[in-house]
Structure 1
Amino acid sequence: MIVIGSKALLVHLPLTDEVVERRMKSDFDVIMTPEEFVQWSKDKSSYIQSLVPTKENKYKAVIVLNGVRKVYEIELGFDGTSAKYLLDRVEEVTDYVILGFLGEHMHTLSLPHLMLTKKSHLIYPVHFEKSINDYHLIKSYLGNFEPNETMNEYYALRSQEAKERYKQRTPKLNVTTEDFFSSKLNVPHYFVHDDIHEVMAHHDEPVYKKMQPDPSMAWCAKDMFFALPYEMQVQAVQEEAYVISLERYIIPQYGDNHADHFEMYKNALKRICTTLCSGWFREFAIENYPEAIKRYNPNFVDILSDAIFYEKIKPLDGVNLNDLPRSLKKAWYVVNA
């Protein structure tokens, strides 16, 4: 029996008050062999309030002991699965043994394998913020780390399972920039996408232009990107996040938290790391997510507002500026009110 997820991660962290509290509150994500599962469900039946299948090889058990409720998310290790791969190598892939809520002896997955478990599904938006924060926390503890063959094989299996589970499609980039961006908006369109990019540029032009072999196409070249200084690489991710958050959430006032500009920036970063693109740019955004958060400019909406006021950017034909959110028109609204 192997415990993974937050319960396993917290075992490896220094014992601060916050970690102790999280350990007490966190539920159990557990991998079992089918035989262990059958025996466990019989032995613990008096404590199991409910036990229901959630996926083909997964169950959710609600446990009650002395009035305290805990949830076990149970994954069964069938042949050919990543769970079975770990169970077959339990001594190699685990380090500590802890007691479960009902006194079970559980092996805890090692930090490298926990990191690879997190990474295997980071390109999907489910529980993204928690997963990516945990991923980078583990990376900070591991330091310079190279996975061995067993870790790589496990990661490949886990990633393939995530791919089959989520069946996510990513957009094609070998189309014109106009077709790419116009086809992705499910909200009212107020400005030309590339015009917003010009306003959000950190330099004389948006960073993406420095990595486009053909300016008419959305495609960017990997070698041109990695030839740029690291700071500009991060800025490329940031500029995209600013534009997406403005264009898809803040300007059209779309979503419950559209007025929370930092949340919309993080939401845009999540899109970049998951559904908006694929390949090396998405990988870079994932691996450098904390840096993109750290360098966040809380005044990015004011930059667009000023650009509207000084007519450095003009709306599309037929767009009424008075329809924009107040945060975007505070400078010129007084003049035109």
Structure 2
Amino acid sequence: MIKPQIIADSYKEILIILNNIIKNEGNIPLIDYPVLIGSRAAKWHIYSFREPNDWDLMATPLQTTLFINKVKEYNATFKYIKLIYYPGGGLILAGEYIDKYTADKKLISFYIELVSEKVDFRNMKSIFEGNSEDNMKVDDMQDDDEINKIEFERFNDVHPKMSALMILELCCNIEDKTMLPLLSNFLCIVAPLKILEALKTSLIYCQADLHKNISDLHLLRDYVALTQTKKKNIAEDLYSPQRDELIELILETRIKETEIIYSKPGAYSINLNMSNDDFLEYEDNLFVQKCISHEDLYELVKYGDHPIYQGLRDGQSKELIKKSLFEKLDYQTKINCMKEVVMVIALERYLIPMISNDQENSYKLALFRFCAKLTKGWFHQFAIDNYPRLSNLDKDLLSIAHNIIEKFPIKQKKSDVILLDPETQAIFESIRPYTKTISSFDEIRDYDESDNSYTDVKRTGIKITSPINSDVSITAIITIINNEYRDVYNTSKTDRWTASVVILPTNDLEILSDDDEDEDSDSFDMDHVGISFKDPLKIHPYQIRYSGKFSKLNSKHTFVLGISSEDNIWEPVNIEVKSADFVASLLEIPDITGDLLFKYVLDYLKPTLDFGETPLENWINELKSNGTISIKPNQHLWYYAWNIRISKQRLTLR
């Protein structure tokens, strides 16, 4: 995904930018009202559509300015508002407003895609020296002079139209209208179903919220089919609706725009021309322990005498299915062919490794992976079009998995034993009498109260008093936060771990504890963090979702670790380290260096992320195998990572 840039985060600054754009556009209105799209528009047409969460609009800069002024005029207030620039993608206004004078204080979320026929919002002119992304920050623009420098390129005389512009032009004569909450007389045109269906189809290619988007898509298609007087037969394929030429052009353009924003060329980059074993194993970071061949799994889930795909392959050693052979199958056999593949993925990825014992959910996760990551082109289109019929599991996968596990028990991993050399052991034993475990800490509060999110916090610590000077002591605190999030349909799962080892003089910790509780409340944008929480000690850093970077690190953060997985696929690991030499010197203990102090803290508190340490362990094992680090003596995983980064700060963790 391309990195978005927040170019303004106050309504006054945003109005300055928009008014400057309006001056360059001229006074001829493109359309009388903004156009409502998304789930809110779908709900307007379809009573049974799910409850929408926000208001998605396409609007001109003039209409967006009017919207902001209306919010302020009607005693509403912005909880937050951001003007966001997607390089190559466009300009978005996102935020929330609330009427603080009403009893229920209803919160309204909005997401406005700005549209112009003269100004190219995909290309902002450089206003900072070097034109680097790191220079493009809200903090750099503190006055009106800086804000006034923001300018976008103008379109050439001949240029392909953006999809949003085509949609606004198409909606000029639409009579269906609705009004935004709390804002009287602020009308929006409701986009027709055929446009909503095309927009929802384009979202399938970005993979995010795939299950929700597919469910929405097929409900929209059902109603579009009614308008086309086209009835669906249960024995027939579920094809895309008949679209006119302009809607097809809007869809094609929108897909390309979506791919630019998410930096993913849809399903077209997926390589299926690989061996059978490689097909289900090409993502190295999947949680898979192979104990049975894929061919044997296909035999266990087949619908006929032979797995269906075997008769459709382009060569016996390839998974690539020939379209001409697939099209000769009857409809139910096509569905069964795809379901066999999905069931094998469910067994391979989730049920046999015992990641899940829920066969229905495992099948849904496998179907998501199949549609989002393992198919392309016409095969992908058939899967999306027929998703409702593919989603019905009709075999007992749990029994199959149990039989395989009994026959091929998964080896339990032995825990590594860390043995200290005699010299280090002697030093540690001399420190232990001066070490006291910290028995309790104030609770770290979880900001995310969603039913779909679960956060677990572990905090341990020790206080080491100098044997030379009893008035001097240092404190080491280890914090581990694990957040598990599932989408509302329970088909997509995100796991995040952040860990920190903070070593500092005890007096410094007491100063932090006495700080004003609310001092840190607005110092970091919680919208961008992977795990949201409130730390009373203000020592555990936040991690930004899209970049992986940590907030507000300083010398006390000896070791910081961030690990995450999306649908059981590991993301890149983020590590930051600092030397502990200075704080170690405060103890005045002979032979105690920062290296030994960090090793002692790990030995005493023995922190672990359990399952979350898998990618870190894989990396360390790789370094051991190629001779980069010594196999013996065995060290704590965190120490390996810390020591490597201290020695080679620029080493990139794969």
**TM-score in terms of structure 1 length:** 0.83
Work out whether residues 33 and 87 of structure 1, in 8 Å CA contact, stay in contact via their aligned partners in 2.
no
Q: Distance in 1 between matches of 2:200 and 2:85?
A: 19
User: Deviation digits for residues 178-214 of structure 1, max 9, x if unmatched?
Assistant: 3333323522222212221121111111111121131
Gap change, CA 1:68 and 1:148, over 3 Å in 2: same
Q: 1:68 to 1:321 in 2, by over 3 A?
A: closer
Corresponding residue of 1:184: 283
Q: After superposition, where does 1:1-337 map in structure 2 within 5 Å? A: 1-14=34-47, 22=51, 26-45=53-72, 46-47=75-76, 48-56=78-86, 57-65=91-99, 66=102, 67-79=105-117, 80-91=161-172, 94=174, 96-101=176-181, 102-103=183-184, 104-143=186-225, 144=230, 145-168=241-264, 170-185=269-284, 186-187=286-287, 188-254=289-355, 258-294=356-392, 296-297=393-394, 299-306=396-403, 315=408, 320-321=409-410
Aligned-partner Cα distance in 1 for 2:281–2:79: 50
Once the two structures are TM-superposed, the CA of residue 288 in structure 1 deviates from its matched residue by: 0.4
- AA partner of residue 275 (structure 2): T
SS in 1 for 2:107: strand
Letter in 1 for 2:223: Y
Contact 1:123–1:273 (8 Å) recurs in 2: no
Kindly report the root-mean-square deviation, in angstroms, between the aligned alpha carbons of the 2 structures.
2.3
Q: Distance in 1 between matches of 2:298 and 2:98?
A: 54
Does the CA-based 8 Å contact 1:262-1:298 persist in structure 2?
Answer: no
SS of corresponding position for 1:141 = helix
Moved more, 46-55 or 281-290: 46-55
Q: State the Cα distance separating 1:172 from its structure 2 match.
A: 1.3
Q: Tell me the CA shift for residue 87 of structure 1.
A: 1.4
**Cα distance between partner residues in 2 of 1:203 and 1:236:** 10
Q: Which 5+ residue runs of structure 1 have no aligned equivalent? A: 324-337
Q: Distance in 2 between matches of 1:96 and 1:253?
A: 51
Tell me what 2:620 maps to: none
Classify 1:205/1:223 alpha carbon distance in 2 versus 1 (closer, same or farther; 3 Å): same
Larger deviation: 271-280 or 281-290? 271-280
Distance 2:205 2:395 in 1: 26
- Greater RCO, CA 8 A, separation 6+: 1
Give, in angstroms, the shift of residue 247 of structure 1.
0.8
The structure-2 alpha-carbon separation of the partners of 1:123 and 1:207, relative to structure 1 and needing over 3 Å to count, comes to farther
CA distance in 2, matches of 1:117, 1:197: 36
1:37 corresponds to which letter in structure 2? T
Contact 1:123/1:275 (<8 A) preserved: no
Q: How many Å separate the matches in 2 of 1:259 and 1:179?
A: 25
Residues 300 and 33 of structure 1, relative CA distance in 2, 3 Å threshold: same
SS of the equivalent of 2:353 reads coil
Q: Do the aligned partners of 2:35 and 2:58 also contact (CA within 8 Å) in 1?
A: yes
Identity between Structure 1 and Structure 2 (%): 24
Contact 1:199 1:307 in 2 (8 A): no
Distance apart, 1:38 and its partner CA: 2.1
Contact conserved, 1:9 with 1:111, CA < 8 A, in 2? yes
Structure 1 residues 95 and 140 mapped into 2: Cα distance closer, same or farther (>3 Å)?
farther
Q: Matched residue pairs, number?
A: 305
Deviation at 1:149, TM superposition (A): 1.5
- Structure label with greater radius of gyration: 2
| Pairwise CA distance, 1:322 | 6.7
Gaps of 5+ in 2: 1-33, 118-160, 231-240, 413-654
